Amino acid sequence: MKKVFAVLGDPIEHSLSPIMHNSAFEALDMDCTYHAFRVGKNDLENALQGAKAMGFGGLNLTVPLKETALSFVDADPLAAKIGAINTIDFKDGIKGYNTDGIGAKRTIEDEGVEIKDKNVLILGAGGAARAIAFTFAEAGARVNIANRTPERAMQLAAEIGDAKGYGLDIVDKGLDEIDILINTTTVGLGHSNGTLVSAEQMHSDLAVFDIVYNPLMTKLLQEAETAGARHITGIMMLVYQGAEAFRIWTGREPPIEIMKRTVMEALDI
């Protein structure tokens, strides 16, 4: 019988997860199907129990469920530290994972950029920043966080332990010591054309990664190009966070290129 997978969230209409995972199942000739369901916070516990009872293969969670889910799942240690769940596996109870940080890590490694012992500056201190900060710290990076509200950056740094938190003005002091710059804020999204760092503040050995993928070449990445720095677009983070979930559920090697092509086509890139 077909194995069912799904993404839950609200709003959910624009999720790319169904086409991405269905393209992967099809490519590997697996008898599986992936759907999107609109589920709010109040219905999450029932939805999880129902999906488990009906033999679902696994779930992804998106806004506004990622944090709420911690109360209803057996969270793996990294997800518990991050404080958010984006992947649920039903093989052994209801286990919760967070693959967002791993998605970012793989995206950067894919570009040949090492993370271990590197100085990383993360812009932002929201959910995506938490996932990336804890995952990169665990991978041996020296993590720095700069946020518009400095207290949030300092709080996150304190939770990580061996990390530092700042206001955005740290950027004005220069990025000479930084190897990898990651934007997790919404600045640059859509037609805003904003950037928190300009070409003059960058250096050519810097790797600049923007998790925003709409547009693909954000203003920040254009600035990186001007500075002669390496620039990495957000599209592969979307693919890799899904690919890691796929690996957790199925134990199979995800067809990355096919997943990427499907997402790029859907975004008309």
Site track 154-193 with ligand ATR (rule: CB under 6 A), x = hit? ------------------------------xxxx------
Tell me how far apart the alpha carbons of residues 220 and 168 are, in angstroms, rounded to a whole number: 15
* Least distance to ligand ATR, CB of residue 212, Å: 10
- The CA-CA-CA angle for residues 204, 208, 210, to 5°, reads 160
Cβ-based nearer residue to ligand ATR, 46 or 149: 149
Per CB under 6 A, 198 contacts ligand ATR = no
Mapping DSSP to helix (H, G, I), strand (E, B) and coil, where does residue 48 land?
A: helix
Asked whether 189 and 131 are in contact (CB, 8 A), the reply is: no
Q: Which of 2, 3, 52, 66 is an active site residue?
A: 66
> Which position's Cβ is nearest ligand ATR?
126
Q: Please list, residue by residue across 141-156, b when 16 or more beta carbons sit within 10 angstroms of its beta carbon and e when fewer do.
A: bbbbbbbeebebbbeb
Q: Which of 11, 40, 50, 126 binds ligand ATR (CB under 6 A)?
A: 126
User: Which range of residues in 19-27, 144-152, 217-225, 260-268 is near ligand ATR by CB under 6 A?
Assistant: 144-152
Number of residues in contact with ligand ATR under rule CB under 6 A: 14
Tell me how far apart the alpha carbons of residues 38 and 155 are, in angstroms, rounded to a whole number: 33
Catalytic, 66? Answer yes
What phi-psi label fits residue 62: left (phi over 0), alpha (psi between -120 and 50 degrees) or beta? beta
* Sites of contact with ligand ATR (CB under 6 A): 124-129, 147-149, 152, 184-187
Catalytic machinery residues: 66
